[in-house]
Amino acid sequence: MSNLPLLLVQIAVILFAARIVGWLFRRLGQPQVMGEMVAGILLGPSLLGWLSPDISAALFPPASLGFLNSLSQIGLLLFMFLVGTKLNTEILRGRKHTAIVTSHVSIIVPFFLGTLLALYLYPRLSDNSVAFTHFALFVGTAMSITAFPVLARILTERNLLHGRIGAVSIACAAVDDVTAWCILAGVVLLVRSSSGTLPLWLTVIGTAIYVGLMWFGVQRALRRLEASFLKRNSLTQEMMSIILLLVLVSGWVTERLGIHALFGAFLMGVVMPKDQGFVRALKEKLEGLVVVLLLPLYFAFTGLRTSIGLLSGADMWFYCSLIIVVAIVGKFGGATVSARLSGMPWREAGAVGILMNTRGLMELVVLNIGLDIGVISPALFAMMVVMALVTTFMTTPLLDLVYAAPERRHDLAEVETVRAA
Amino acid sequence: MRVVLLYLGLVGLPVLGIVGLLQVGQTLSAPISLAGTWNAQLNPESESTAADPGLLPQPMVLTITQSGPDVVLVFDDNQRTTLVGKIEGATIDATALGHDGTTATYAADFGSTPRSFRASIDCRAEPRRLVGVLVVDRGRLHAEVPIVAVRRDKVPKGGGS
């Protein structure tokens, strides 16, 4: 373990940068996670490696990144599990139709525009080792992501979660997340099956059996765990170890099936019992460590793979701008129009569109998967990271502009009146 | 009923559009894939009369990063020389970053430095072999050294178009 001192220094530097930049972004009215994402980019070749290649090479030598990557992947696995635990079908109650239509339209419109964009980008940013279908499906998926956790945080911070906008947006984002992850699993499956790891039919049947097993078997077993928790009113170490073991096994199974370990962790979170106390206890035990310590490592690892320097020349920046415009038009436009057609006034529909356009961390996860499986090139990866940052950054100022404090208060008052009645 | 119609119109139509676009895309072609790690051998024919590659390591590891036709080549020599260039057809053409004098100075200090690289690949017969010429700076001298690079890791899936 001769790399331990270096690993400790790397973690300390990453944590420090994440906290400082996160604090600065909070001062700008942005969520902490936005600052942490930017901190990761700043530690990579885009800034530190560019300003001081020697320090960068000493701090993050390529041979040492394996440890950092492993730690960050474990962190991400646990984070995806936590995201899954927050998905509750209860939030769809009373707005299932609006949520499903708005969510699916806000996926399919950017997906369509992404596929259209892929026609232009494929000869310019891809190569013949990637089939056009895989490339286009991936670009489409990357365009249609909404960051459920970041959205939840923005809504909570702005006291919007229990208003009409917040309720519709969070419900849409929940449907959006599940749908987008299913599409991504399909894309990963297609790409990996073409490179011959497992036959496609075996992966499809295996995945279907596994999901069924989780839904009807593991979920029931977990309810007994929940009952035990409710009886004792505490989450014991034994319970925690069972849950963590299941998360790891689930990740291992989906990785072996040829989709991705993250899907297994996410699925495990989705089938977890949704009793508020149980989920809260689980969150209290895990979230601090994952969000404060391990996720910044993932952002840093992403940052180390992001080289904004690859975007050299006017044409590269033109492609990048095009990606950003298509992403915004597709997601914001699709969600706004469908929310309007579902009966919301324009202002509220616009607010839903702005919120759904938040891509945040989930986009980074998707992009890293794309880079790992070789569907996107390093330059396209960098462009899409820029797009993820821009679309996440613009959410809060635009929301404050379109849906200012008086509207929020009015929305909340209306909801309170309906509740009281 | 209204919701169903809305859903069919707003979701169903774009789905059909996506299917159409995927069909149209099958006719597109992308540049050949050269990304990956290559083992490069200078002067592969020992009786070659070309200049001695000097302090360049033998064999050299060449890492190619590719985004469409744009490539970045990194040699594992002392200075980790970086060349940037483009792929046109089956030929890769790259020159040293900011080689307007900078490279020559380096060369005087450290020995030989790759300055430009031009090589071709025969995608059908030998898809793992790049054959070409590396122009090396050594002090004030330029030398053209034959080079053969053999792909070490990724084999193109050939999934394109």
**Within 13 Å, how many C-alpha atoms sit on residue A130's CB side?**
34
pLDDT at position B109, please? Answer: 47
Angle at A318 between CA B26 and CA A395, to 5 degrees: 100
A380 touches chain B (CB under 8 A): yes
- Average of per-residue pLDDT across A356-379: 91
- Residue A365's domain comprises 4-420
The number of beta carbons lying within 10 Å of the beta carbon of residue A345 is 10
Q: By CA distance, what is B64's nearest residue in A?
A: A378
Q: pLDDT for A22-49, tens place per residue?
A: 999 999 989 888 999 999 999 999 999 9
**CA dist A362 → A128, A366, A388, A392 (Å):** 28, 6, 9, 11
- For residue B22, give the nearest of A126, A133, A337 by CB distance: A133
User: What are A420's two structure tokens?
Assistant: 């009281």
- Average of per-residue pLDDT across A149-153: 80
Nearest CA among A140, A110, A135 for reference residue A123: A135
Nearest CA among B161, B69, B93 for reference residue A129: B161
Whether pLDDT at A264 is above 70? yes
pLDDT at position B41, please? Answer: 86
SS3 letters across chain B: CHHHHHHHHHHHHHHHHHHHHHHHHCCCCCCCCCCEEEEEEECCCCCCCCCCCCCCCCCEEEEEEEECCEEEEEECCCCCCEEEEEEECCEEEEEECCCCCHHHHHHHHHCCEEEEEEEEEECCCEEEEEEEEEEEEECCEEEEEEEEEEECCCCCCCCCC
Segment 103-142 of chain A within 8 Å of chain B by CB: 104-105, 108-109, 111-112, 115-116, 118-119, 122-134, 136-137, 140
* Overall number of domains in chain A: 1
A89 touches chain B (CB under 8 A): no
CA distance A24 to A15: 14
Q: By CA distance, what is A196's nearest residue in B?
A: B157
CA dihedral B5, B9, B12, B13 (to 10 degrees): 160
Q: CB distance B33–A131 less than 8 Å?
A: no
- The dihedrals phi and psi of A203, each to the nearest 5 degrees, come to -65, -45
Q: Poorest-confidence range of A158-162, A327-331, A406-410? A: A406-410
- Average of per-residue pLDDT across A129-133: 94
Cα distance from N-terminal residue to C-terminal residue, chain B: 42
Burial code of A361-388, b = ≥16 C-beta within 10 A, e = fewer?
bbbbbbbbbbbebbbbbbbbbbbbbbbb
pLDDT at position B57, please? Answer: 65
Q: Poorest-confidence range of A89-98, A149-158, A210-219, B68-77? A: A89-98
- A12 in Cβ contact with A5 (< 8 Å): no
Checking DSSP bridges between strand B60-67 and strand B70-75, what pairing results, if any?
antiparallel
A391 touches chain B (CB under 8 A): no
Residues 6+ apart with CB under 8 A from B3: A97, A101, A342
User: What are A16's two structure tokens?
Assistant: 């420090």
- Average of per-residue pLDDT across B44-65: 66
Q: pLDDT for B86-132, tens place per residue?
A: 999 999 999 987 544 344 344 444 456 788 899 998 887 888 889 99
pLDDT band at A155 (very low <50, low <70, confident <90, very high): confident
Whether pLDDT at B159 is above 70? no
pLDDT at position B64, please? Answer: 92
- What is the widest separation between alpha-carbon atoms in chain B? 82
B34 touches chain A (CB under 8 A): yes
Burial code of A85-115, b = ≥16 C-beta within 10 A, e = fewer?
bbbbeebbeebeebbbbbbbbbbbbbbbbbb
Q: pLDDT for A288-316, tens place per residue?
A: 899 899 999 999 999 999 989 888 889 99
Q: For residue B9, which residues of chain A lie inside 8 Å, CB to CB?
A: none
Whether pLDDT at A198 is above 90? no
Residue tagged 């379109």 (tokens): A402
pLDDT at position A91, please? Answer: 63
The whole-angstrom distance between A28's CA and the closest CA on chain B is 35
Whether pLDDT at A1 is above 60? no
User: What are B24's two structure tokens?
Assistant: 């149209």
Cα distance from N-terminal residue to C-terminal residue, chain A: 65
**CA dist A266 → A181, A251, A262, A263 (Å):** 9, 8, 6, 5
Indicate the burial class of A19 (C-beta count within 10 angstroms; 0-12, 13-18, 19 or more): middle
pLDDT at position A176, please? Answer: 83
Q: pLDDT for A215-249, tens place per residue?
A: 999 999 999 988 989 888 888 999 999 999 999 99
pLDDT at position B104, please? Answer: 39
- Average of per-residue pLDDT across A196-211: 82
CA distance A139 to A377: 12
- A240 in Cβ contact with A56 (< 8 Å): no
Whether pLDDT at A256 is above 80? yes
Tally A–B CB contacts below 8 A: 128
Residues 6+ apart with CB under 8 A from A179: A103, A104, A107
Q: Identify the bridge partners of residue B134 per DSSP, sorted by sequence position.
A: B117, B145
Angle at B60 between CA B54 and CA B61, to 5 degrees: 155
The number of beta carbons lying within 10 Å of the beta carbon of residue A72 is 24
User: For residue A34, what is the domain's CATH number?
Assistant: 1.20.1530.20
The whole-angstrom distance between B33's CA and the closest CA on chain A is 5
- ipTM given for this complex: 0.81
Whether pLDDT at A140 is above 70? yes
Q: For residue A133, which residues of chain B lie inside 8 Å, CB to CB?
A: 22, 25-26
CA distance A247 to A298: 18
pLDDT at position B106, please? Answer: 41
The whole-angstrom distance between A74's CA and the closest CA on chain B is 26
Q: By CA distance, what is A97's nearest residue in B?
A: B3
pLDDT at position A39, please? Answer: 95
